[in-house]
Chains A and B, each alone.
Chain A
Amino acid sequence: MSTAEVTRTFDVAKVKADFPLLQRELKGGPIHYLDSAASSQKPQVVIDAMTTYYETINANVHRGVYEIAEAATNALEASRVRVGRFIGAPNPETEVIFSKNATESLNLVARSWGGANLGPGDAVLLTQLEHHANIVPWFQLQAEKGFEIRWIPLTADAQLDLTDIDRLLDGVKLLALTAMSNVTGTLTPVRELTEKAHAAGALVCLDACQYVPHLATDVVSLGVDFAAFSGHKMLGPTGIGVLWGREALLDAMPTFLGGGGMILNVTLDGFTPAALPAKFEAGTPPVAEIIGLHAAVDYLDALGMDAVREHEVTITAYALRTLTERFGEALTIHGPAEPAARGGVLSLAMEGIHPHDLAQVLDEHAVCVRPGHHCAKPLMKVLGVGATARASFYVYNDTDDVDALADALGEAADFFSF
């Protein structure tokens, strides 16, 4: 199958050409970057947007009155509105909080909302799919506040097992869940769970880190109360993340990090916090990264998020078919078998070969996959493995990348054949 046949949504070869790093040769051939679930590559427009900022309007924001400071501030605020529109935020000017990454966004919800609203007798409901970023902050807070943490279990194919959901939600104040697993690619039924959670009197905090880059996102139709994601997984730079939250909730929450920029007034007796969104943005923000994220969102919107999703379903289906045909039962692919039920993330287990060794052999063929527990150790335990080798797809991956993965897996099987 040629690349052109794989997707009619956009020309993958043309997309690939937009990414300077993917033009590199590695080990005497093209690089097969299959680790976008960890961090995506960046198109030239994102790199250029950041460079242009530094070369033309670099100045601190929200302070200076001179022309370039004002231009930098305007560029930052334009990005906020643009990013907000990208996820369907009703009030992007106030509801889009810039953070360092999704991890910091989730910590903000835990520390600020959780700190003010959770105590003994309360419960937080998580799922066994969660990344450590949506587990550890709750454990940290639990140690101080003494609430209960519950877990939604999984079915055999790593989907949420909702058999007991009504009992699990009883008395829960917050459901914090991933929209898409970074290990198995499992898409969770966010809308359905949000309705149930709200009916049970709970709020919903969505870890949308693997979702926003890959599927059209509308926080209003998803119904969630908070959503966290990172710029670097959606073609943007590292060091910039987003927390979206309902305005009334954010407004009522106590401040998170303290410092410059987040105050209305400071006296010798105390401080008065600024209004949203500044209230949650202490210190000089990563202006270049925020501007880079704007360019990334523009790039994704130009491709069209429905087309992005269609491309990823197609490439995932091709990968599932190719790998299953070639390796049969010697290769386990964790997670849902149906491409429509998952994102483009394949956690692989090759019989008799540890993921670390597998990834090492793949590296010899310039196939970049990630071995390890993917910051989801509880999920690893449920899957009954210590680690997996994870291949993940994005807009620039084509069937050549999948074929290279399959060939390299074949080499690994030969190399370690017992």
Chain B
Amino acid sequence: MPGLEDLYREIILDHYRSPRNRGELETPPATRTEGFNPLCGDEIVVYLDVDASGTVGDIRIGGTGCSISQSSASMMSAAVKGKTLAEVRALTRAFKGMMSLHESSLDTDGESGEELDADGEPVEDVKLGDLEALRGVVKFPVRIKCATLAWNTLMQGVDEAAEAHPA
């Protein structure tokens, strides 16, 4: 049976206590997208500033949520800064792949084997870094939506930014 330490890794609690990139950005030029978890009432706001070259110049996170949703958002904000929109999409696919149940069965720790995305397709080699700490969330299925909330919201922002900055 998975224990609390599988869920609440130290790095997760660190990001929860000291969230990175909290705040707002001026819109425009930044985009502002909101995400809701209708089950628990968590709300997240992602401000995304993409420069003319299609690179994430800045990102800010607002809203309220549990330690999992807030730490995921915080780590996400640190991970995507300076990345191109294509790289952000690839990272998101990799993260959501890690969060999908068929990729990491409940009985194994899922540390080895080929990474599959949410559609079961192999994902390109993307370094998740600190985000790996959220892998344990898969063992607590009802919390997966907490971990992916920020990323789904980010994707809406990326789509909006991509329309504004066609490659």
Residues of A participating in the B interface, judged by any CB pair closer than 8 Å: 354-357, 360-361, 364, 371-373, 377, 380, 386-387, 415-416, 418
Contact = CB atoms under 8 A, between A and B. Distances in A.
A360 B40 contact: no
A360 B41 contact: no
Given A356-B40, A360-B7, A415-B4, A386 B140 contact: no
B16 to A, nearest CB: 8
A360 B43 contact: no
Contacts of B70: 354
B143 interface: yes
Nearest to B63: A386
Interface in B60-106: 64-68, 70
Contacts of B65: 354, 356, 386
The binding surface of chain B is classed by DSSP as: mixed
Given A354-B66, A356-B68, A418-B17, A364 B40 contact: no
Contacts, number: 48
A357 B41 contact: no
Interface in B1-42: 3-4, 7-8, 13, 17, 39-42
22 contacts: A354-B64, A354-B65, A354-B70, A355-B66, A356-B40, A356-B42, A357-B66, A357-B68, A360-B4, A360-B143, A364-B3, A371-B40, A372-B41, A373-B41, A377-B41, A386-B40, A386-B43, A386-B64, A387-B40, A387-B41, A415-B4, A415-B8
B146 A356 contact: yes
Interface residues of B, number: 20
A372 B40 contact: yes
A389 to B, nearest CB: 11
B140 A372 contact: no
A354 B146 CA distance: 12
A354 B63 CA distance: 13
Contact of A372 (B3, B39, B64): B39
A155 to B, nearest CB: 23
Nearest to B7: A360
Contacts of B4: 360-361, 364, 415
Most A CB within 10 A of own CB, among B3, B40, B68: B40
Given A364-B4, A415-B8, A380 B41 contact: yes
A387 B42 contact: yes
B37 to A, nearest CB: 9
Contacts of B43: 386
Interface in B99-155: 140, 143, 146
A402 to B, nearest CB: 22
Given A360-B4, A364-B4, A418-B17, A354 B67 contact: yes
Nearest to B42: A386
Given A357-B67, A360-B143, A387-B41, 16 more contacts: A354-B66, A354-B67, A354-B70, A355-B66, A356-B40, A356-B42, A357-B8, A360-B4, A360-B7, A364-B3, A371-B40, A373-B41, A386-B43, A386-B64, A387-B40, A416-B67
Point out which of A372, A377, A386 has the most chain B C-beta atoms below 10 A from its C-beta: A386
Contacts of A371: 40
A357 B67 CA distance: 7
Contacts of A416: 13, 67
Contacts of B67: 354, 356-357, 416
Contacts of B64: 354, 386
A90 B42 CA distance: 45
Nearest to A377: B41
B140 A360 contact: yes
A81 B146 CA distance: 46
A386 B17 contact: no
A364 B4 CA distance: 8
A410 to B, nearest CB: 15
Contacts of A387: 40-42
A377 B65 CA distance: 15
Nearest to A376: B41
Contacts of A415: 4, 8
Contacts of A360: 4, 7, 140, 143
Contacts of A356: 40, 42, 65-68, 143, 146
Contacts of B146: 356
Contacts of A355: 40, 66
Nearest to A418: B17
B7 A386 contact: no
Given A356-B66, A360-B140, A386 B8 contact: no
Interface string B45-71: 000000000000000000011111010
Contacts of B39: 372
A136 to B, nearest CB: 13
A355 B39 CA distance: 12
A180 to B, nearest CB: 21
B136 to A, nearest CB: 12
A386 B143 contact: no
Contacts of B40: 355-356, 371-373, 386-387
Contacts of B13: 416
A148 B111 CA distance: 57
